[in-house]
Chains A and B, each alone.
Chain A
Amino acid sequence: MPNTIRTEKQKLYPFLLFLFTFILMLVSMISNLKWGQAHISWRVLYEALTYQGDSKEHLYIQTLRLPRTLTAFVVGAQLAVAGLLTQLITRNPLASPHIFGINAGASLAVVSGLVFFAGLSFIQSIFLAFIGAALGALLVWALAGTEQKQYVRLALAGIAVHFLLSSLTEGLIILNQHATDSMMFWLVGSVSNAAWGEFGAIWPFTVFGLLATICLLPSFKLLLLDDSVAAGLGSRIHITRLMGVLLVIVLSGSAVAICGPIAFLCLIVPHIAGSLIGRKLPLLVPYTALLGGCLLIAADFISKFIAFPFESPVGIITAAVGGPFFIYLARKQRRGR
């Protein structure tokens, strides 16, 4: 009898967790819509969301806050899944696209695009970001190699590439002094400028990336095993890995092109999700996406208020929270060489 209760509980637990996170997401979404620089009453909020009325306040909600919140959700989900994939591929708990120079590569490409070719469309800058992200990944791979269990070597190589690429980006910005402000904002990672255009450009990539990840889940499962074991089971480990890297580039590249390199979100969300729901991939991947979106909306909400009435980029919040978390993880990794 107690046994059956426990299995029932086990089945129920993930469901409750999803429900709870979903409610959390709704709450942060609504508060993000309700509070901000302009005062909006509940009534107006309801009217705006159901598209009745067209006063200034309604327009605030419909054209500024709603796309911004949705973009935050989508970008958060993308970055979190990209982080999870990176950790799976490299089998390195400290891995993330941010630390691996992928984000820095994407931002270098986007900034040089903005500097050298004026008037880029979103799609063009997204593709530039893909190229940059691939470049960053390639550099790190060239530096660190693909040997197994080279946790620290990989992390240090990633950070070296990150420094190189971001110093080049800084150089470009210094030499082109116009439009420094908005570029700085973007460079730290911010969703505050996202309008329907941005959202429209990014959501296809989200859907594609997440669907592809879920379709490839059976192959990714084998990445949890040792290389030799996986090869013994008949998995083409290199192809799986390559697909994973491409997915990471698509997910985080498009996120960076729209919102800038938002720090550390991709690192911490997979860990939190993993400790809450366990390491079973079919549950972990959707939960990571949900949690990532939820946390980025919450961080965006906080970022509106740390220097009220001025906006601050959300990347500052994620770095300030994620940095200490990374320290905690690094201290746990005692035995790593």
Chain B
Amino acid sequence: MRRGIALFAAFVLLLILGLFSLRSGAVTVPFSDLWSSLLGHDTPSSYIVLQYRLPRVLTAILAGSGLAAAGVILQSLIRNPLASPDVIGITKGAGFTAAAVIFLFPGSPSYVLPLAAFGGAIAAMLLLLLLSKRMTLSPASFALVGVALGAVFQAGIQYLLVKHPSNINMTLLWMSGSLWGRGWEIALSLLPWIVVLLPVAWLQYRRLDVLQLGDEGGTALGISLRPARIGLLLLAVALTGSSVAAVGSIGFIGLISPHIARLIAGGRHQWMVPLSALIGADLLLLGDWLGRLIIIPREVPVGIMTAVIGAPYFIYLLRRERKRRA
């Protein structure tokens, strides 16, 4: 019951934040105009609402839930509360190929960038699988291999940045993650991925529960570990890759949403997956909304906002967890 309420509350929060995001920005749209624009009537602000803010809000919701779900999967897979798509290097892989496209093929059409980012995420995962001896390593070593891989990709990004100083701001913006100028084509290209992958992730909740128990427990309960791990990793990469392709490498969503969800709903993935997806979407919307309001008319990239909101909370959570265990 309590979990149901939490889920409902997160959903209501999502609606409220969505409405506020639609309303405010460099131009504030009054609620009455907002309603009639959303219902399809022609108002002075309907262009802003329908063409700029609505796809942006939609992208934020989709990407936030995708990153958060990927975080849940990875934390169960690696059995470590500090795991997340950024930590194991997948986002950096996506960032590297995206930066390569921005710098080496500056004239390429806009749909190439997300495709390249997705390819980078896949490449990072393949490397990770190869280096971790096809997932036979212990989860901990696996995470460390991911960390190092991320650092190597980071070096690649930095090389490109330094060699082509003219595009630095665009790349930095992309690397820290931003929802600026995300239109319908991006929202619609992200939509099918998330709509298909989120339910798939939810259906894996039993496996996620069991994997968290540890290798022995999993084997005893009759799960063949390696195929399960590879399948789940693939799922997490697809979720991360498609989200990062749309919004850039936004950090901390994948790290803290699962923690908040676990705090509210306990460790059972049946509830954790949907709840943390909703919380991820909430956080991303909140970050974007605040980032637009702080220094109008300029924007703080949402990736920075999520780091500023997320990090202190994350530290608080970890300290709490440590105290409870001690």
Contacts and interface: CB of A to CB of B under 8 A. Distances in A.
A171 B173 CA distance: 9
A52 B227 CA distance: 71
A320 B140 contact: no
Given A177-B169, A180-B168, A323-B148, A316 B159 contact: yes
Interface stretch (A28-36, A57-65, A245-253, A325-333): A325-333
A326 B144 contact: yes
B19 interface: no
B232 interface: no
A156 interface: yes
A133 interface: no
Interface in A70-113: 94, 99
Nearest to B131: A327
Contact of A94 (B82, B86, B144): B144
Nearest to B144: A330
Given A155-B147, A160-B82, A173-B172, A188 B162 contact: yes
Interface stretch (B3-11, B116-124, B274-282, B304-312): B304-312
Contacts of A324: 148, 152
Contact-size category for A: 35 or more
A11 B243 CA distance: 60
Nearest to B177: A167
A37 to B, nearest CB: 16
A43 interface: no
Interface in A185-219: 185, 187-188
A163 interface: yes
Contacts of B143: 152, 155-156
B175 A316 contact: no
A316 B155 contact: yes
A283 interface: no
B137 A171 contact: no
A167 B304 contact: yes
B304 A153 contact: no
A184 B161 contact: yes
Contact-size category for B: 35 or more
A310 interface: yes
Contacts of A187: 158
A142 interface: yes
A312 B137 contact: no
B322 A145 contact: yes
B168 A170 contact: no
Interface stretch (B40-48, B106-114, B313-321): B313-321
A313 B82 CA distance: 31
A171 B304 contact: yes
Interface in B121-160: 131-133, 137-138, 140-141, 143-145, 147-149, 151-152, 154-156, 158-159
B49 interface: no
A41 B165 CA distance: 32
B155 A331 contact: no
A171 B318 contact: no
B300 interface: yes
Given A164-B252, A185-B162, A327 B149 contact: yes
B64 interface: no
A139 interface: yes
Given A155-B147, A313-B158, A315-B155, A170 B80 contact: no
A263 B307 CA distance: 22
Nearest to B91: A163
Given A313-B158, A336-B141, A153 B82 contact: yes
Contact of B162 (A312, A327, A336): A312
Given A185-B162, A310-B163, A330-B148, A160 B87 contact: yes
Contact of A326 (B133, B151, B175, B318): B151
Contact of A337 (B138, B152, B307): B138
Given A152-B80, A168-B304, A180 B151 contact: no
Given A142-B319, A156-B80, A184-B165, A164 B307 contact: yes
A175 interface: yes
A177 B172 CA distance: 11
A175 B300 contact: yes
B287 to A, nearest CB: 12
Interface in B213-245: none
B155 A319 contact: yes
Contacts of B307: 163-164, 167-168, 171
B285 interface: no
Interface in A134-159: 139, 142-143, 145, 151-153, 155-157, 159
A335 interface: yes
B163 A174 contact: no
B71 interface: no
Given A142-B315, A152-B80, A330-B144, A184 B162 contact: yes
A175 B291 CA distance: 12
Given A164-B251, A164-B252, A336-B140, 6 more contacts: A157-B318, A160-B314, A167-B307, A170-B175, A170-B304, A324-B152
17 contacts: A99-B147, A142-B319, A151-B140, A163-B307, A167-B303, A170-B176, A171-B301, A174-B304, A310-B163, A319-B154, A319-B155, A326-B151, A327-B148, A330-B148, A331-B132, A331-B141, A333-B144
What are the 3 A-B residue pairs with the smallest beta carbon separation, nearest first? A319-B155, A171-B304, A330-B144
